[in-house]
Structure formats: structure tokens, C-alpha cells
Amino acid sequence: MPQNDTPSTKNRRRSARGGSGSRRTTDQNAERGFSASTALSESMQRVLVDLIELSLQGKQAHWNVVGTNFRDTHLQLDEVIEAARGFSDTIAERMRALHALPDGRSDVVAGTTTLPEFPQGEIDTSEVIDLITERIDVVAATCREVHDAVDEEDPTTADILHAILERLEQLSWMVSAENRTARTS
């Protein structure tokens, strides 16, 4: 039975058999487009590990916070954790889009994060607020430290850092406000 082939059908069939045509290997397709330099990859990795660690420390605080305003603090920690997890995924996927390899293994995170260690055991709400605010600010500082070099190489990734900074600084303000007292004129 004769086949009614169009030129594109012939090319697809030829490519599937390994013949000449427009076939590209998977590697060729995967490596198209802009690729991050080592410096850009390392900058994004720094942000990634700090975000992962913030989500882990936020969860530790979430489980062990006690005291006045427990429920509000407990729920506010969920917001911090959700933001950190979401942004860590965004950074990791951006790295992959730029052909870089994110590394979120626990030993890598523990060995390279800039966040201080989180205390063990039950922690009073006011102390948790101070501890988490400090850690949010550390992650924001990491984003600011890498920003200019990232922006020079890849403004799109810098835009992601802007979104992360905006949310982290908002969370820092909202969380820290729990321990503040109003200024008097």
C-alpha cells in the first residue's frame, strides 16, 4: 500500500531510523540557550542553601515555639516556611534552566549555609521571633551580596532575587513587629 508522504513526514520517519534529517540528540536540545557561568551558578547556590536552611529552621521553630501569642507565631512561621520553600524551588529550577546543577542535599546545606545554628528544644515566642527575624535578614543579606554580579550576567535571575528580597523584607518586618513597642513622639 503506497504511503502519502509529505516532506515533513518523510523527514520524521528518516530521523526516527537514524537517517539524515533534522534530528538532534537529547543533549543538544538540553544545552540550548543561555548557560550560567560558574560564578552565577555559585551565587544562585548560595541563595538556594540559605533558603532551604531557612525553611528547615522555620519548621524547627514552628514545632517548638511556646508561650504568649503561640498560635499567631505558629501560623506566621508557616508563611516564612512557605516562602522559603517556594523560593528555593524557584531558584533551583532557574539554575536548571541555565544548565547549572542545584545541590540541596542535607550535608551540602548544613556545610555551606550562612545561617547560624538554630537552638534545640522549646523556645519562647518572643525569642523565636527574634531568631527567625535574624535568619530572614541573613538570607536577604545573601541575596543582596550576590545581586550585582548576578544582575550583570543575567538580569532575569536578578529579577527573581528582587522578588525574593521583597517578600523576605516584608516577612522580616511583619515577624519582628510582634516584639516591637510603639515609639512615642
Q: Is residue 57 within 8 Å of 132, Cβ to Cβ?
A: yes
pLDDT greater than 80 at residue 9: no
Instruction: Report the Cα 27 to chain-centroid distance in Å.
Output: 26
Query: What pLDDT does residue 24 have?
Result: 42
Q: Is residue 109 within 8 Å of 27, Cβ to Cβ?
A: no
Task: Supply the pTM of this predicted model.
Answer: 0.82
pLDDT greater than 70 at residue 123: yes
Strand, coil or helix: what is 4? Answer: coil
Grid cell at residue 16 = 526516527
pLDDT digits (tens, 9 = 90+) for 72-119: 999 999 999 999 999 999 999 999 999 999 999 999 999 999 999 999
